[in-house]
Amino acid sequence: MKTVWLLVDHQKIGSYNQCLGLAKGLEIPLENSHIKWFSPKWPWSFLPNSCWPFPFSAQALKDYPLIPPYPDLVIASGRKSAAPAAFLKKKGIPTVFILNPYMPPSAFDWVICPTHDHLQGPNIIKTLGSLHPIDDASIFQAKKKFQDFCSPLPSPRVAVFIGGDTTYQKLGIEAYDKLAVDLLDAYDKGMFQSVMITASRRTQEASFQRLLERISMIPHVSWSPHRPSHLTNPYFGFLAFADLFIVTNDSINMISESCYLQKPVLIYPFAKIKKKFKEFTQSLYEQGYAFPFQISLPEVKVFEKLDERTRVVDFLKAQRFT
């Protein structure tokens, strides 16, 4: 049975989910997929990844040593993890890198990269959205697991997925206040009857709590990674029970995951976003996967399903990579 290392920059959950999604698509059992969080120590942390002489020696996390036995396959993501992934490729281990490695793509067997990153090369597999571990089976399981939490809410239910601060912008309270006003307006106009809302690790907790207070008149459930809870993250449950989605424009992963469900996905102008994010959302609009936020549902009866993982897996199998 094949073993896989998921080599990922430390605490980059979005990158980890993409690697996990690809491993799942390749039908590699979870118990054979070993996470290797990676964080470089000094002086490697101050050098470009292409300049690391001995990448394995750069690992600062003692719980995740990069030592034999080596795996049969490496799936890596995150610019810090690119150098050790390329080193494993030199050892003859098949290696796939997800996202821009910020080093020559030729250092890997395949690089899976969003179209909006504009990477070129014979081994580049371009995608519109991100890969993820969501499939019909996981949605079915989530419906059973979160039945008691989500189903009492009246339909139609909207799932609201919030990103937050980025390297380029720290959001002020006004961004959360505007979202609260727009949700109340949409509720008053009958767009939905209840809200399932979740924060992310980038969401400001105080601002999120203020938002919840402002929409308290709407039947809702919420979850935040910043507050103690006995409840497992209900994100998959929200995906399963939602009739429509409102997702902030700063999260390509959450937008991509929502677009898998073939339901209305409205992208909310929450933050100032980079040019490549604008290219991503514009492509979604043009291809019918999502729509700009508005206080009304799009007049579309059939919604497109964004399933980049299946397309990538089919391509890799056709290339006899696996």
Homologous superfamily of the 136-292 domain (CATH): Glycogen Phosphorylase B; (3.40.50.2000)
Sequential DSSP letters for 120-140 = -STTEEEESS---S--HHHHH
The pLDDT of residue 39: 96
Q: What is the CA radius of gyration of the chain?
A: 20
Tell me which residue of 107, 90, 97, 80 sits closest to 5, measured CA to CA. 97
Dihedral through CA 310, CA 316, CA 317, CA 318, nearest 10? 110
DSSP E strands in the chain: the ranges are 4-9, 33-38, 73-77, 95-98, 110-114, 124-127, 157-161, 194-198, 220-223, 244-248, 265-268, 291-292
Beta-bridged to residue 319, according to DSSP, are none
4-128+311-318 shares its CATH topology with 136-292: yes
The strand order across the sheet containing 124-127 reads 33-38, 4-9, 73-77, 95-98, 110-114, 124-127
Closest CA to 204 of 225, 178, 218, 185: 225
Q: Whole-angstrom Cα distance, residue 51 to residue 302?
A: 50
Q: What is the CATH number of domain 4-128+311-318?
A: 3.40.50
Structure tokens at 110: 């395949």
pLDDT of residue 227: 85
Number of residues that make up the chain: 322
**Per-residue DSSP letter, 91:** T
Site of tokens 């729509």:
291
**Span 225-274, pLDDT tens digits:** 998 777 789 999 999 999 999 999 999 999 999 999 999 999 999 988 88
**Domain locations in the chain as residue ranges:** 4-128+311-318, 136-292
19-38 burial code (b ≥16 CB/10 A, e <16): bbbbbbbbebeeeebeebbb
- Report the amino acid identity of residue 46: F
| Of the candidates 114, 117, 112, 118, the residue with the CA atom closest to the CA atom of residue 128 | 114
- Burial class of 186 by CB neighbour count within 10 A (0 to 12, 13 to 18, 19+): buried
**Tens-digit pLDDT profile for residues 132-162:** 999 999 999 999 999 999 999 999 999 999 9
Rounded Cα distance between 175 and 30, Å, is 39
Q: Which two tokens stand for residue 3?
A: 């073993």
Say what the pLDDT of residue 166 is.
Answer: 81
**Spans in the chain with pLDDT lower than 70:** 1
What's the pLDDT score for residue 1?
61
